[in-house]
Amino acid sequence: MDGNAAIAYGVMRSQVQLVAAYPITPQTPIVETISSLIDTGQYDASYITVESEHSALSALIGAASAGVRTFTASASHGLALMHEVTGVASASRLPIVMAVVSRAIPGPMCLWCDHSDIMTQRDQGWIQLFAQSPQEALDFVMIAYRTGEDPRVLTPVMVDIDGFFCSHLTEPVEVPSPEEAGEFIGGFQPVNACLDPALPYAIDNLTSPEIFTELKRSQDLGMRAAAGVLDERFAQFGQLFGRRYGRILCEGMEDAQTAIVCMGSMAGTVRHVVRQLRQAGQRVGLVRVVAFRPFPTAEVAQALRGVRQVAVIDRVSAMGSFGPLYEEVLAAMKLDGNQNCAYSFVAGLGGRDIWEGTVEAVFRRAQALGEQNAPCREPIWIDLKEGGMGNG
Burial class (CB in 10 A: 0-12, 13-18, 19+), 373: exposed
Rounded to an integer, the average pLDDT of 356-382 is: 96
In 3D space, the residue among 350, 351, 341 whose CA is nearest the CA of residue 375 turns out to be 341
In 3D space, the residue among 269, 272, 281, 223 whose CA is nearest the CA of residue 247 turns out to be 223
pLDDT in tens, 163-174: 999 999 999 999
pLDDT at 392 over 50: no
pLDDT at 118 over 80: yes
Strand partners, 74: 100
For the range 119-124, what are the long-range contacts, defined as Cβ-Cβ under 8 Å and sequence gap of 24 or more? Answer: 119/316, 119/324, 120/79, 120/80, 120/83, 121/79, 121/83, 121/86, 121/158, 122/292, 122/293, 122/324, 124/83, 124/86, 124/87, 124/90
pLDDT in tens, 132-153: 999 999 999 999 999 999 999 9
pLDDT at 386 over 60: yes
Rounded to an integer, the average pLDDT of 269-292 is: 98
Encode burial over 65-87: b for 16+ CB neighbours within 10 A, e otherwise.
Answer: bebbbbbbbbbbbbbbbbeebbb
In 3D space, the residue among 152, 127, 153, 154 whose CA is nearest the CA of residue 141 turns out to be 127
Distance CA 260, CA 304 (A): 10
Which residues have a Cβ under 8 Å from the Cβ of 199 and sit 6 or more positions away?
none
Q: What is the pTM of this model?
A: 0.97
The two beta strands, 127-130 and 291-293, are antiparallel
Angle between helices 134-148 and 3-13 (to 10 degrees): 30
pLDDT at 191 over 50: yes
| Strands ordered across the beta sheet of 97-102 | 46-49, 18-21, 70-74, 97-102, 157-162, 127-130, 291-293
pLDDT in tens, 45-66: 999 999 999 999 999 999 999 9
Rounded to an integer, the average pLDDT of 74-85 is: 97
pLDDT at 341 over 70: yes
Distance CA 286, CA 290 (A): 12
**Within its chain, how far is the Cα of 248 from the centroid?**
12
Rounded to an integer, the average pLDDT of 246-259 is: 98
Concatenate the DSSP letters of all residues of 153-185 into one string. T---EEEEEETTTTTT-B----PPPHHHHHHHH
pLDDT at 201 over 90: no
Point out the least confidently predicted range of 130-134, 338-342, 384-388.
384-388
Please tell me the predicted confidence (pLDDT) of residue 389: 54
- Average pLDDT value for the chain: 95
Calculate what percentage of the chain has a pLDDT beyond 90: 91
Distance CA 139, CA 16 (A): 14
Backbone angles phi, psi at 88, to 5 degrees: -65, -45
Distance CA 81, CA 285 (A): 38
Rounded to an integer, the average pLDDT of 181-192 is: 92
Please tell me the predicted confidence (pLDDT) of residue 388: 56
